[in-house]
Structure 1
Amino acid sequence: MSEIELPEADTETQLDEDDRLKPEFVSAVLDAVEAGDTETARALVEPLHPADIADLFELTPREDRAGLAHAVSDLLDGDVFAEMNDYVREDLIDALTPTEVADLASELDTDDAVAIIEDMDEDEQRAVLRALDPDDRAAIEEALSYPEESAGRLMQRELIAVPEHWTVGDAIDYLRGHEELTTDFWEIFVVDPAHKPIGTCQLSWMLRTPRGIAMADVMKREQTLIPVDMDQEEVALRFQKYALISAAVVDNGGRLVGMITVDDIVHIISEEAGEDTLRLAGAGDGDINEPIRLTVRTRMTWLIVNLGTAMIASSIVGLFQGTIATFALLAVLMPIVSGMGGNAGTQTLAVVVRAIATNQLTSSNTRWMVLRELRIAAANGAMLGTLIGIGTFVIFGNRDLSIVIAAAMLINNVTAGLGGVLVPVTLDRMNVDPAVSSAVFVTTLTDTMGFFSFLGLATLWGLHG
């Protein structure tokens, strides 16, 4: 066996200045795996943080992941799987037995265990659940009963709750006397006899309070309660708005059933922001680990829709064939009007979709938003119209053509501003995700209005060559 030259197993060698695994480190690990030197591969991977081990698998070609997993199998614990990309995790989970998956799930908080199991086929899910301990199985089955991307799926059941009549000393003794309690928490929830949360107490407050003081006198009664069926995007907005570290999740009866922590919310905020951007482009999940067949199907769907909208725009051009035939310069200039309108519409659309997603835009300020974007669109349209009008006159020396294209630019920019607000707002009122469908409607609107305004004004003006 040929000897492989490997880097030292330290952080400086493994990671670059942006905390990403260095290409030479990844190559060294895969070379060791390919050479059958599992001991060296394991020695290199062992110092890595679980998130970096997950990154290593994501950077490994799909056909090589099974070999890497075999070489470092004892390092593949639940924390690593919880950090993995969904598609990469599914590939590795498929290679494990239900008992092995159950062992992984039992190591994790409920929310992370659900993330591993929820994407499995129904038969595989049942097999894994049967292999779990009864308590773990009940908790995960309950979580799976909630809608996807809801607080019920996101929450963890492992929390600390104490009755309101306890003293600080009682709570501290309880924490010290029960080893089975969770060790990762920032605050304690205080509940009434019906197990409804009535307040929270940060650990720092308890440590600075005499033992004899009642928990009810230390706790903060104002708290943000998360309904179990609340969408995860709304949950993230509440964490962001109220600067939460953790929050209680309650069922329909107001009883405490779990908690959500800020580390989970960081992932949600990142995912939701990326999803909205990709949906506007019709790119689906946009994950580089997504199977090619699924990516093609997702993108092709929207490309076909865009093909249909392009045919609508071209039909508008067909209405003015006679005008174009008498003045060929119109065919040269009309894409500028529609293209600039499309760019302006995309700018407005991006702002409005973000405002809707972050609850900045509501029914109370929609009218103000429409007027604001109209003023912006009119100002931009007037400036762009003036510039294109001057440029057209300088290049072609035709005053009438310059006036027509300047007016069409103004009209289409105002249309883009109006459509960029009204289309996503209307879709949102119809309970349709504005990030998914808005771009198609706005692009169609600006293309058709761009061609119609430019060619229509040219016809009314009587332009001819």
Structure 2
Amino acid sequence: MLLEENKKAAERVLAFRDEEGDVSAAFVQAVSEAVQADDSAHLRDLIADFHEADQGALLEALDADLRPRLIELLGDDFDFAALTEVDDAVREEILEELPAETVAEGVKDLDSDDAVYILEGLDKEDQDEILDALPASERVALQKSLDYPEDSAGRLMQADLIAVPPFWTVGQVLAHLREATELPESFFEIFVVDPGHRLLGHLFLDALLRSDRAARIETLMVSDRRRVRVLDDSEEVARLFQRYNLVSAPVVDEADRLVGVITIDDMVDVLQEEADDEIKALGGVRADEELSDTVLYTTRSRFIWLFVNLLTAFLASSVLGLFEGSLEKMVALAVLAPIVASQGGNAATQTMTVAVRALAMRELGPSNAWRITIREALVGLLNGVGFGLLTGVVASLWFRDWNLGIVICLAMVVNLIAGALGGILIPMALERFRADPAVSSGVFVTTVTDVVGFFSFLGIATLWFGLH
């Protein structure tokens, strides 16, 4: 019987996704019809045993007005952890529509880090209303986590953990794990603390199960354990996980008392968000922009950088005005000038991308800045010579003027070197002045390559044809 039920559940999960791995339109339609008909029994048959990620994907695929109703119809069969899998805007819309009692009932059984993630985006008034509906012990624990600064380890940590004294034996720990009524839903390590709850070490479950029951924990624990402070920045914690290949890390307060644990699944989310923010910033897009945002909000958020780009474009265009006479005499210059500027811009973007990533990962600093700058300048020189010769030959054949080929070759070398230097030096300068290089570099680097590209090409052309 159980095997048959598992088989049917697997078939439903397969029907949930189409061939591309997206949520099936037919499945969404079936769920929508069940919600509109208030058919909770059919809804449970369809999705009650779905993973939280799949329930989250389904929520995003549904019409906005059906999402809260689906949650209410599923009742206890809805996994509130699914709200950690949806866009921030979608989650906030859902929480605004649900009664505070429903949200409180849903988050009370979640891991504390998931509950905090769901509640932290709400207004203080809405947070308090939901917290007031929780049991006192859970309310205090969640409030304490919410009081930590945003993007701190205290916000990310899970307060539910298992801590034992060092003088316990393996048998005592195993008995405690069997008899205790309030344990984390899943865990794989035991923390060891002194009477003041200060962290002494840890012990993974595999080592515990392989040890003699009479062995004392203090003889088995690992004391060299990398720990995290509650106020540490989440990105720094993620880099710690990445550097030392951690799967979890204890979180301690100022007095070195154990207050929580951070696990690798939280760090994966942080690294993904960091990468997402960097990609958006390089394109001049706000870090909090989501696909579910409204047209007006998205327009406002993108307007400022487009405006800055417009101003810098006028600056680059003004360079062309300095060589108006040369452009009037030779139309070929106007045709070829954008090629030099564009190639320099592309080369600069390559260098800038590497530089911004290196700065974010703390791989680029005063100790190696000069070496990396020289390397990028040499790369720009070699690429400039290569593409300069190639472009020069094409331009000479195109316009049947070898002088034009020499001019564009020299200008290409100059602009690719300038692009390489701008791509590395501008992000470093912005970092030095505590500005986000991912957000600000693109505009300045593009301006440098456009100005240098136009000026070098038209300046060299004016001098060269003036001499010949």
User: If the TM-score is normalised by the length of the shorter chain, which range does it land in?
Assistant: over 0.9
Which amino acid is the alignment partner of residue 433 of structure 1? Answer: D
> Hey, what does 1:197 align to over in structure 2?
199
Checking the alignment, whether the CA contact within 8 Å between 1:227 and 1:249 is kept in structure 2 is yes
Number of aligned residue pairs: 459
> Hey, what does 1:79 align to over in structure 2?
81
How far 1:181 moved relative to its partner?
2.0
User: Aligned to 1:454, which of 454, 457, 464?
Assistant: 457
> Hey, what does 1:161 align to over in structure 2?
163
How far 1:21 moved relative to its partner?
2.5
Per the alignment, do residues 159 and 437 of structure 1 end up closer, same or farther by CA in structure 2, a change over 3 Å counting? same
How far 1:84 moved relative to its partner?
2.5
User: Aligned to 1:231, which of 230, 233, 240?
Assistant: 233
Q: Report sequence identity in percent.
A: 43
Checking the alignment, whether the CA contact within 8 Å between 1:334 and 1:454 is kept in structure 2 is yes
User: Aligned to 2:297, which of 294, 299, 302?
Assistant: 294
Structure 2: distance between partners of 1:48 and 1:182 = 21
Query: Within 5 Å, which residues of 2 pair with 1:235-254?
Result: 235-254=237-256
> Hey, what does 1:100 align to over in structure 2?
102
Q: What's the CA shift string for 1:29-78, capped at 9, x where partnerless? A: 22443455554344222232121011001112334434544544443332
Q: What's the CA shift string for 1:371-422, capped at 9, x where partnerless? A: 2211211111111111111110010111221111111111111111111111
Per the alignment, do residues 427 and 254 of structure 1 end up closer, same or farther by CA in structure 2, a change over 3 Å counting? farther
How far 1:361 moved relative to its partner?
2.1
How far 1:146 moved relative to its partner?
1.8
Query: Within 5 Å, which residues of 2 pair with 1:23-422?
Result: 23-34=25-36, 37-284=39-286, 285-422=288-425
Per the alignment, do residues 67 and 160 of structure 1 end up closer, same or farther by CA in structure 2, a change over 3 Å counting? closer
Superposed structure 1 runs of 4+ greater than 6 Å apart = none
Q: What's the CA shift string for 1:122-155, capped at 9, x where partnerless? A: 2112222222222222222222222211111111
Which amino acid is the alignment partner of residue 426 of structure 1? Answer: A
Unaligned runs of 5+ in 2: 1-8
Structure 2: distance between partners of 1:319 and 1:298 = 35
Structure 1: distance between partners of 2:385 and 2:343 = 13
Checking the alignment, whether the CA contact within 8 Å between 2:48 and 2:78 is kept in structure 1 is no
Stretch deviating more after TM superposition (381-390 or 83-92):
83-92
Q: What's the CA shift string for 1:92-136, capped at 9, x where partnerless? A: 100012222222221211111111111111211222222222222
Stretch deviating more after TM superposition (413-422 or 30-39):
30-39
Which amino acid is the alignment partner of residue 415 of structure 2? Answer: N
Structure 1: distance between partners of 2:75 and 2:195 = 46
Per the alignment, do residues 400 and 217 of structure 1 end up closer, same or farther by CA in structure 2, a change over 3 Å counting? same
Stretch deviating more after TM superposition (145-154 or 21-30):
21-30
Structure 2: distance between partners of 1:138 and 1:181 = 18
Checking the alignment, whether the CA contact within 8 Å between 2:202 and 2:223 is kept in structure 1 is yes
Provide the alpha-carbon RMSD of the alignment: 2.2
Q: TM-score, normalised by structure 2?
A: 0.92
Query: Within 5 Å, which residues of 2 pair with 1:430-441?
Result: 430-441=433-444
Structure 2: distance between partners of 1:48 and 1:181 = 24
State the SS of the aligned residue for 2:223: coil
Q: What's the CA shift string for 1:270-302, capped at 9, x where partnerless? A: 221111111100122442112322211111121
Structure 1: distance between partners of 2:41 and 2:183 = 36
How far 1:206 moved relative to its partner?
0.5
Which amino acid is the alignment partner of residue 384 of structure 2? Answer: G
Per the alignment, do residues 240 and 349 of structure 1 end up closer, same or farther by CA in structure 2, a change over 3 Å counting? same
Stretch deviating more after TM superposition (201-210 or 111-120):
111-120
Which amino acid is the alignment partner of residue 264 of structure 2? Answer: V
Structure 2: distance between partners of 1:302 and 1:72 = 44
Structure 2: distance between partners of 1:38 and 1:463 = 84
State the SS of the aligned residue for 1:462: helix
Which amino acid is the alignment partner of residue 417 of structure 2? Answer: V
Structure 1: distance between partners of 2:299 and 2:255 = 45
Stretch deviating more after TM superposition (353-362 or 28-37):
28-37
State the SS of the aligned residue for 1:257: strand
Per the alignment, do residues 363 and 171 of structure 1 end up closer, same or farther by CA in structure 2, a change over 3 Å counting? farther
Structure 1: distance between partners of 2:74 and 2:191 = 40
Q: What's the CA shift string for 1:290-347, capped at 9, x where partnerless? A: 2322211111121111111111111222222222122222111111111111111111
State the SS of the aligned residue for 1:190: strand
Checking the alignment, whether the CA contact within 8 Å between 1:147 and 1:229 is kept in structure 2 is yes
Checking the alignment, whether the CA contact within 8 Å between 2:15 and 2:27 is kept in structure 1 is yes
Structure 2: distance between partners of 1:235 and 1:19 = 32
How far 1:269 moved relative to its partner?
1.6
Per the alignment, do residues 357 and 401 of structure 1 end up closer, same or farther by CA in structure 2, a change over 3 Å counting? same
Structure 1: distance between partners of 2:172 and 2:143 = 33
Structure 2: distance between partners of 1:33 and 1:464 = 80
Checking the alignment, whether the CA contact within 8 Å between 1:245 and 1:261 is kept in structure 2 is yes
2:426 aligned with 1:423: yes
